[in-house]
A and B are shown apart, each in its own frame.
Chain A
Amino acid sequence: MNRQFKEAVIERLLLCSSLLSVFTTAAIIFILLSESLGFFKEVSIVDFLTDTQWTPLFTQKHYGILPLLCGTLLTTLVALLVAVPLGLVSAVYLSEYATGRVRNYIKPLMEVLAAVPTVVYGYFALLFVTPLLKKFIPGLSGFNALSAGFVMGVMIIPLVSSLSEDAMHAVPMGLREGAYALGSHKIQVAFRIVFPAALSGITAATILAVSRAIGETMIVAIAAGQQPNLTFNPLVPVETITAYIVQISLGDTPHGTLEYSTIFVCGLTLFLLTFVLNVVSFKLKRRFQEIYE
């Protein structure tokens, strides 16, 4: 009996450590909601969603999330324009063209790209990429969405590439053989057979990349600027939701004020955006796995 008791205790303890994750999620949601609730007592949701200015730290206060959202979407868009084409082409290459040996060397190397701390990428974007781009684009500001987005895109390439490659790899060999038997070339097999078959897996990877770009903080906080700007011009400074959170955290805004509670509102917006994207990506991936695995 003693042995069985010990086993039962261990099982309970293990369960508790798993429940910690549930608790974490609950705590995130609780903190974001309770602080945001205070905010929305003073600022109407309509203003929050439609006002085109975000100036909580000025005397003339406006609480419109649109400029921050716009900054976030702009940097994300630039990042995707870099990461998706390069990541997908590289995935097709690795899955359909590269030999196993090449793949074994290249994949860990690409993972290193994702391992570089984001503050390092921020430094690189601000002090290397922006000055370099200035030589070609004279109107480029010192802080801008273009370099921040570009560097963020480079950081995300391995994510897109590796998840898409996994998806293409999972496409059954039989499909390819059928096409090769008809005399197709590699490129036709890759783009007419494998790519469409893996599409939901590839979409899942891309959506995850969007979510990652939206949540990325340090690169944009360092290199994209801190001016909430309702613009789609990538050459001027913008502020993302994440950069704003960093800005307030670094400042001396007193706790408990309306200004301070903006970081929770921004956090909530960010959480909802990434949550929806993650769930969609998760569902797509699961559907893909159900088909092929």
Chain B
Amino acid sequence: MNKAQLDKQVDKLFKFIGIASTLFGLIVLVALVFDVFTDGFKRLNWDFLVSFPSRKPEKAGILSAWVGTIWVMLTTAVLAIPLGIASGIHLEEYAKRNRLTDFIEINIANLAGVPSVIYGILGLGLFVRWLNLDRSVLAGGLTLALLILPTVILSTREALRAVPFSIREAAFALGATKWQVVSQQVLPAALGNILTGIILAMSRAIGETAPLITIGALTYIPFLPESPVSFSNQFPFLQVSSKGFLDAFTVLPIQIFNWVSRPQKGFASCAAAGIIVLLAITLFMNGLAIYLRQKHQKRW
């Protein structure tokens, strides 16, 4: 075999190694999913979804966990989405190139890299203790909102940057004010991509465990936050309450963590069943985000 042939063989070999390395993670992922399903699928039934946690593994369920997840995610979304988009708009469309802008940008880049558990400590100091929110839904939602804010800002900026400058020019030339240009033309044009970023950020928040444990979210919650609307037979028949936001909560990943750390074998199946639910949610959201991104790619 001469040099050229050898090189060709090496080239082929490397291509094979490259494919193997790329697929390695995916193979592990398949093993993970397979493992979780064999452990948890038999445990996954209607009772599991509508039962509170219990000391007996065969009776335990994820009701308070998924309800808590919805509560916390709503709080997070309501805070992080408008603030993140607003900040993204400010940095991309309004901010002049100066030191303050530079400083804010470096700040956000840095915040995006701060470990999530540190956000937990922030939430503990700021919301739980200083604002006296205790271990409430609100404290949890605020903490996660700060956590995903940099991601929302960065993806908003990227989406706005993808809107061609000519669109802005066209609107300005018609006599639109800056805010009209941004809110009526640029933002709608970027919305698809912004949405993709928000879904990814929310999907990350749903899986976050450490920051909520750090603010002191409890692992055993046999009740639900007070319902925001309740019905009665007296006028006005319908009552709206925000008390639920101040109730204690748990979320799906914390419930899973709690079960994983129990020694009894039965709880491992509960954890696996909980993981199936959690994975279904996060993988669905990621799939949706990827689909949206493909759909919105290259319109101009």
Which residues from chain A sit less than 8 Å from chain B, CB to CB? 3, 6-7, 10-11, 13-15, 17-22, 24-25, 27-28, 31-32, 35, 85-87, 89-90, 92-94, 97-98, 106, 108-113, 115-124, 126-128, 151, 154, 157-158, 161, 185-188, 190, 208, 211-212, 214-218, 221-222, 242, 245-246, 249-250, 255, 263-264, 267, 270-271, 274-275, 278-279, 281-282
Q: Are B117 and A215 in contact (CB under 8 A)?
A: yes
List 22 A–B pairs whose Cβ atoms lie within 8 Å, in order of A's numbering: A18-B90, A18-B104, A22-B104, A27-B122, A93-B18, A94-B18, A110-B26, A113-B25, A115-B200, A117-B278, A119-B257, A185-B10, A212-B113, A215-B116, A215-B117, A218-B209, A218-B210, A246-B213, A249-B216, A263-B121, A278-B113, A279-B110
Q: Contacts A14-B94, A93-B19, A119-B256 given: A22-B25 contact, CB under 8 Å?
A: no
Q: Are B178 and A7 in contact (CB under 8 A)?
A: yes
Q: A21 to B290: give the CA distance in the assembly, Å.
A: 27
Q: Known pairs A113-B28, A222-B260, A242-B210; list 20 more (Cβ under 8 Å).
A: A11-B178, A20-B149, A21-B87, A24-B111, A27-B122, A89-B18, A110-B22, A113-B29, A115-B204, A116-B282, A123-B256, A128-B31, A157-B24, A187-B7, A187-B10, A187-B14, A217-B115, A246-B214, A249-B216, A267-B118
8 A Cβ contacts from B16-44 to A: 17-19, 21-22, 24-26, 28-29, 31-32, 35-36, 39
Asked whether B197 is an interface residue with its Cβ less than 8 Å from the other chain, the reply is no
Instruction: Select the stretch in B51-59, B221-229, B238-246, B267-275 that faces chain A.
Output: B267-275
Q: Are B150 and A21 in contact (CB under 8 A)?
A: yes
Q: Contacts A112-B286, A218-B210 given: A157-B25 contact, CB under 8 Å?
A: yes
Q: A192 to B16: give the CA distance in the assembly, Å.
A: 19
Q: Are A15 and B25 in contact (CB under 8 A)?
A: no
Q: Are B29 and A21 in contact (CB under 8 A)?
A: no
Count B interface residues, CB 8 Å.
88
Q: Are B260 and A122 in contact (CB under 8 A)?
A: yes
Q: Are B207 and A119 in contact (CB under 8 A)?
A: yes
